[in-house]
Amino acid sequence: MSQQTLRVTRPTKIELIRLKKRVKVAKRLHKVLKDRLIILTQELIMLIRDAVELRQRICDKVQECESLLIKSTPFIDPSLTESYARTRYGRVEGVVGSRVVAGVRVPLIEVRREGKPRESPEYPILLTLASRCFEELLDLTARLGEVESSITRLGAEVARVKRRVNALENVLIPRMENTIKFLEFKFEEREREDKTRMKKVKQILARKEGTVSASA
C-alpha cells in the first residue's frame, strides 16, 4: 500500500473538502469495478471449465466417430457415404452472433439444421450412427470455438479491470487518505500555533499595560 501523499498546491480547507469528495467517488468507483470484476471472473472461470470439458469430450467423440465410420465402410461405397453426408439435412447453417456479458461483447455460435434428418433403411445403421456422432461433434466444436474466443476477450477485460482495481486499492485511495490526514494534521498544528501566538500576544499586551500603569 502506498505511503505517499498527493501533491497539494495549497493546503487549504477547500482543498481538504475537495479531496474528501474525491475519496468518496474513488471508493464508489472501486466498488463498481470490484463488482464487475467478480462477475467477469466468475464468467471466465466457468468458461475455462467448459473449455477443458469440451476439449475432452471432443477428443473422445472424434475417436468414437472415426471408429463408427471405419466400421461402416465395408458395407457401403465411399462416394455414397459422401453423398449421404451432403444430403442428410436440407440445410445446415452456422449462426454467428454476439452477446454482452457485463459490458464485454462475446461471440455466440450456433449450428442449425433445417428439417428432420434423412435416415432411410437403404443405408447401413452404422453409417447413420456415424453421421449422428459427427453432428454432435460439429456442435461441440462450434461451442468450443465460442467458448475459447470468449475466454480471450473476457481475459483481456479482467486484466484491465483488475489493474484499475489494484491501482485504486493500493495507490490512489491510500494516497488520498494520507493527504487528508496530512492536511488535517497541518490544520490542527496551525490552530495550536495560533493559540500559542494569541497567548503570547496577550501576555505582551498585559505586560505593556502593566509597565504603562506603573510609570503613570
Partner 1 sequence: MERLLRDELKAVNYMLPKRRKNLRELLNEEYPHVLLRDGSAHMFRHSELRKACEILGNELCGNLLLPIILKMRAELKEMVAEVEDPVAIKLICRILNIDEPESPPLRLYPIHLRILRREIGTLLMYAISFRRTPGEEP
**92 within 8 A of 139, measured Cβ to Cβ:** no
Other C-beta atoms within 10 Å of 176: how many? 21
Contact criterion met (CB below 8 Å) for 88 and 131: yes
The answer to whether 90 touches 122, Cβ cutoff 8 Å, is no
Complex with partner 1: residue 98 or 203, whichever CB lies closer: 98
Please tell me the distance from the alpha carbon of residue 113 to that of residue 85, in angstroms, as a whole number.
Answer: 13
- Cα–Cα distance between 159 and 77 in angstroms, integer? 54
Q: Tell me which of 1, 80, 95, 159 binds partner 1, using CB under 8 A.
A: 95
Cell of 209: 499595560
Residues that contact partner 1, how many (by CB under 8 A): 32
Question: Judged by CB under 8 A, which stretch of 32-40, 63-71, 80-88, 121-129 contacts partner 1?
Answer: 32-40
* 3-state secondary structure at position 115: coil
Asked if 108 touches partner 1 (CB under 8 A), the answer is yes
* Least separation in angstroms between CB 183 and partner 1: 18
Among 6, 8, 29, 58, binds partner 1 (CB under 8 A): 29
Smallest distance, partner 1 to C-beta of residue 51, A? 14
Instruction: Select 51 or 85, whichever has its Cβ closest to partner 1.
Output: 51
The residue within the footprint of partner 1, chosen from 11, 12, 17, 32 (CB under 8 A), is: 32
Is the CB of 130 or the CB of 146 nearer to partner 1? 146
Is residue 42 a contact point for partner 1 (CB under 8 A)?
yes
Q: Is the dihedral of CA 14, 16, 17, 21 positive or negative?
A: positive
Nearest distance in Å: CB 72, partner 1: 29
How far apart are the two ends of the chain, measured CA to CA in Å? 67
Taking the complex as a whole, the smallest distance from the CB of residue 142 to partner 1 amounts, in Å, to 12
Task: Determine if 36 is a binding residue for partner 1 (CB under 8 A).
Answer: yes
3-state secondary structure of 8: coil
Residue 8 interacts with partner 1 (CB under 8 A)?
no
Q: Rounded CA gap, 132 and 72, in Å? A: 13
Q: Would you tell me which residues interact with partner 1 (CB under 8 A)?
A: 21-22, 24-26, 28-29, 31-36, 38-39, 42-43, 46, 95, 97-103, 105, 108, 110, 112, 164, 172
